Amino acid sequence: MSGLGGLNKSKAGVVLGLVQLQLPVVETPEQLAAQTQRICALVGKARRNMANMDLVVFPEYALHGLSMDTNPAIMCSLDGPEVAAFKAACIEHRIWGCFSIMEANPKGNPYNSGLIIDDTGEIRLYYRKLHPWVPVEPWEPGNVGVPVCEGPNGVKLALIICHDGMFPEMAREAAYRGAEVILRTAGYTAPIRHAWRITNQSNAFQNLAYTASVCMCGSDGTFDSMGQGMFCSFDGTVMVEGGGRPDEIITAELRPDLVREARAGWGVENNPYQLWHRGYVAVQGGAQDCPYTFMQDMVAGRYRLPWADSVQVTDGSSCGFAAPTRRFGGSEPNPLNPQNPLTPPQEP
């Protein structure tokens, strides 16, 4: 049920649009400026397309294309002209927007960053991609966690980017922090189509959350991105799905109130709750332990796969990137949300 793609918006609903943006070629500051204006124009198209749309979502690489170019001349900053233009577009068209930038990082490689900007031009969520798509992508691994913000009509939003969605832990972290709608933006190409679909569905069902996911679309003369805008309900079913037409905007109404109802009322398959309350029919409150050795080992700094010695690709040299010499600098406070205030309190 998507309210006919959001045409029939309910009092409790939120209407999203996913832009299957034509894959660009961006190699110069002039091309970067032109692509910025093109994205802003499509914010206007989204508003004209549906007057009651609350949030328009652009895919990863919408601004920079798939070149993986780290040229400082085309990297962005939070206070730069590209972000300023996105803010102005959201204000002009009275709509929230989700945008992608490759962000300059004075300490190392650029970040692959995502922003949610509200209809007053305020950045409400800022995220750095935790899992760059190795060995293809040169971006610095994210270090500000998985933030959640309150979006239009009170919906709790999280953003994960592309390869992030292949790790079930990412969507679980978003849900654990309260997300009711998990956005996933990507630049994926056709070989990933099947994995894209099943992970969008499983991320939704395993966390009793909606997923709203979109890729770049069309060809840049070298790569062919797949589009595949997709909304999945919290029971894992696909609600609305786009195809491969560039610049098509896929829309749906999502109902966060039904997510809240399911998380509170479901017994069977209330997976986020039952993870920490194993077997509560047999023992009071369920088993509240951590039986997963991979979790214990990650926290202790000793995570190691049984087949680790046989792994052959461990840096980006196969894709033309020099093997790095720097070590990861560790987590940093999110500059827009240093306290992570939406982290839920721990149960006694």
Q: Would you please indicate which residues are annotated as catalytic (active-site) residues? A: 60, 129, 162
Distances (CA, A) of 33 to 27, 30, 84, 119, 287: 11, 5, 12, 22, 55
* Dist CA 100 CA 112 (whole Å): 8
Q: Which two tokens stand for residue 196?
A: 């894209």
Both ends of the chain: CA-CA distance in Å?
38
CA–CA dist 284, 308 (Å, integer): 39
Report the alpha-carbon distance of residue 217 to residue 14 in Å, rounded.
Answer: 25
Beta-bridged to residue 15, according to DSSP, are 253
CB 100 within 8 A of CB 62: yes
Residue 7 burial (CB count, 10 A) = 13
